[in-house]
Amino acid sequence: DMKVTQMPRYLIKRMGENVLLECGQDMSHETMYWYRQDPGLGLQLIYISYDVDSNSEGDIPKGYRVSRKKREHFSLILDSAKTNQTSVYFCASSLLTGGNYAEQFFGPGTRLTVL
């Protein structure tokens, strides 16, 4: 069963604390993504990873960094979290075929609250 998993599903942190969000996929997809979604809005792209140790900034990378040491895992790190980083974070993965990004599959999301 093709799946994207995210841990944890819910997280509460205080301002200034470090945050680690984890994502896994079992489809051997090369490309993985991190998005955030704020209430009533669509998803905003934070980072793309094309494969292990090959990451690129998305539209809103400030305040975030990522790590991809294995193809099936992609981590999002917030060093010294801020209250405006309270959001729902989605991870996704896709195949890269013929130079085009194919269908993206999404994880269930992590609801992060920064107090």
Which residues form the interface with another protein (CB under 8 A)? 33, 41-43, 45, 48, 58, 88, 90, 100-106, 108-109, 111
18 versus 42: smaller Cβ distance to another protein? 42
35 versus 80: smaller Cβ distance to another protein? 35
15 versus 22: smaller Cβ distance to another protein? 22
Report in angstroms how near the CB of residue 75 gets to another protein at its nearest.
Answer: 20
48 versus 81: smaller Cβ distance to another protein? 48
Report in angstroms how near the CB of residue 17 gets to another protein at its nearest.
Answer: 24
Q: What is the longest distance spanned by two Cα atoms in the chain? A: 44
Report in angstroms how near the CB of residue 102 gets to another protein at its nearest.
Answer: 7
